[in-house]
Structure 1
Amino acid sequence: ELPPDYARGFEGGNLVVVEADSIPPVDELEARVREAGVGIVEATKEASNRLAVNLPYMGVEAKAAEKLKGELVEAFPDREIEIRRTETVGPKIGEELKNRTWAAIVISIFGILIYISWRFEFKFAVGAIIALIHDVVITVGIFSILDKEISLAIIAALLTIVGYSLNDTIVVFDRIRENFSLRRKESYGAMVNISINESLSRTIITSLTTLIVVLFLFFMGGEVIHDFAFALLVGIIVGTYSSVYVASPILIEWQDRIAGRQKK
């Protein structure tokens, strides 16, 4: 089992920004601080002489900063080390933020269910929602496998993926609905297949265009938005195929079950 690795804002913890005349290698710093018993430490280089260090929750900011500085001075006595900034998120606040975030995603999915049921039919809504859940689960799963943090930026990326995938799905659904009224003699499966083929070029062109932009963000956007761009990359690829190969087959399965009941 690989649970998501939540960022400090969700789990609670201390962020301490350290400045030194000569920054030690990040891996060495993390290892030395862990050995001192501070706990799991993650350091990110912000500048040539500045590090942002994430620590487990230690209470007030001053206590965390003081403890970290003491360990660093002991580990690297030849360097001048100063604490430039500290931030603290308590475990209760982090847990509340995490719950509210996932609640926002669930509420948005239910809102989509209601809207598509009203705009199309309930079976279309079910297909769209299953496709969206599929997209979110796959993206979060890949982040868990790669041990990447789920931060507020990644939640924003997940909501963006939901919107993007839904747009693709609705384009296909709209063509299915249109062909359903025009091709009464076709079987439902054949009609869905025709609709997918008619909208496939639009889906591919739109996805490729978006993918090119996100690739630029991924490779040239810098470390700050690297994970955000990676989440979008995964989501666009997964969302593109789910609108065709997940949402649409659910409609066919739904219709076949209805037809089977009517025959009985």
Structure 2
Amino acid sequence: MKLLKLVPDNTNIRFLRWRLPFYVVSVILIAASWAAVFANGLNMGVDFVGGQMIRATFTQDAEAPVPELRADIAKLGYGDPVIQRFGQPNEVSIRMRLPEAASDTAAKDLADQMTRSITAEMQKSHPGVRIDGVDSVSGKVSGELFQTGMLALGAAMLAISIYIWIRFEWQFGVGALFALVHDVSLTLGLFAVTQMEFDLNIVAAILAIIGYSLNDTIVVYDRIRENLKKFRKMPVDEILDLSVNETLSRTVMTSLLTLIVLVALMFVGPASTFGFATAIAFGIFVGTYSSIYMAAPILIWLRVTTNSFVPVEDPMDKQEKLIRGEG
């Protein structure tokens, strides 16, 4: 029985041959991504701008009719609702963005009017629905939540870089941090350009991207460290190419299988998971790219050599060995 191999054995692709052009393109994409974030902003979801949450139970249905409910509420003109099941299959939470108003009093009146319209439409279209509660989240609290989420992303990236610094060398920590900045920046740029809703689910997706990219980078770095010890006379760029090629089969297999599931979730799954699945799918693609073309080539410019992992012998120990005739 012949096994299917997506990547042939003994591949010898010279990835680092094009390291400079790819780095230039990547730096341009990072700058363009942040320019898009500052120019267009992110389309913040209810989690980050405040809003109303209505909890309801469909007592006459075994399962809440989410697609019909989403269409009924959307036609009221308050924007697209975020509807999620929770608890039992017939229980849902409906989150709506707060209406814009000149004052807090006017905003409260508009929010109350929106809630009455939505509950009336639900009771008209779905007799027997029970409204379990209505909660409001202020824009100030939501803004603090966004800041906390961004701080969590930054802290995660910094902690990961310190871990890699301790496990390998400081150059590897810098390379991993740059790769993570690349992945997160391009993902934020995607949401700034497309104006897909940016909520807590997307923050969770970015944290997942950081973890995935880190795992891929560490696999490559571990092989680089082994080969730096093994091939002391080989040029560093050739060692890096060899290491990437040796881990290529694992990288392609893992990324491809994960992308198949995510693409299916994007096009077949519910609308509420589209942004989450899109963010992770895009992040896996750029994370795989960055582990090859960002994390590895930067080691050359940071002057990693074949002696980087050779223990430095203490001069006193060396002198003692000479005295004993062991040197």
> Which TM class, normalised by the smaller chain length?
0.7 to 0.9
Partner of 2:297, secondary structure, is: helix
For the pair shown, the structure with the greater C-alpha radius of gyration is 2
Question: Paired residue for 1:237?
Answer: 285
Task: Give the alignment partner of residue 159 of structure 1, picking from 182, 189, 207.
Answer: 207
Superposed, 1:74-93 pairs within 5 Å as: 84=131, 85-93=133-141
Q: Give 1:108 shift.
A: 0.9
Deviations along 1:148-177, one digit per CA (max 9) or x if unpaired, are 111111111100000001000010111111
Partner of 2:233, secondary structure, is: coil
Q: Give 1:25 shift.
A: 6.3
For structure 1, the 5+ residue unaligned runs are 34-40, 258-264
Q: Give 1:110 shift.
A: 1.2
* Structure 1 letter corresponding to 2:138: G
Question: Paired residue for 1:29?
Answer: 76
Partner of 1:184, secondary structure, is: coil
Superposed, 1:192-203 pairs within 5 Å as: 192-203=240-251
The change in CA–CA distance for 1:71 and 1:210 in structure 2 (over 3 A counts) is closer
Task: Give the alignment partner of residue 7 of structure 1, picking from 39, 45, 48.
Answer: 45
- Give the root-mean-square deviation of aligned CA atoms: 3.4
Contact 2:84 2:272 in 1 (8 A): no
1:68 pairs with 2:110: no
1:146 pairs with 2:194: yes
Q: Which protein has greater RCO, CA pairs closer than 8 Å, 6+ apart?
A: 2
The change in CA–CA distance for 1:62 and 1:16 in structure 2 (over 3 A counts) is farther
TM-score if structure 2 supplies the norm length? 0.64
Task: Give the alignment partner of residue 54 of structure 1, picking from 96, 104, 107.
Answer: 96
Q: Give 1:18 shift.
A: 9.5
Contact 1:12 1:93 in 2 (8 A): yes
For structure 2, the 5+ residue unaligned runs are 1-38, 58-67, 86-91, 306-327
Contact 1:26 1:44 in 2 (8 A): no
State the number of aligned residues: 241
Distance 1:232 1:87 in 2: 30
Distance 2:270 2:125 in 1: 28
Distance 2:187 2:135 in 1: 29
Deviations along 1:83-137, one digit per CA (max 9) or x if unpaired, are 9453311122111111111111111111111110100011001111111111111
Which is worse superposed, 224-233 or 168-177? 224-233
Superposed, 1:170-185 pairs within 5 Å as: 170-185=218-233
Question: Paired residue for 1:228?
Answer: 276
- Percent identity of paired positions between Structure 1 and Structure 2: 37
Distance 2:162 2:219 in 1: 18
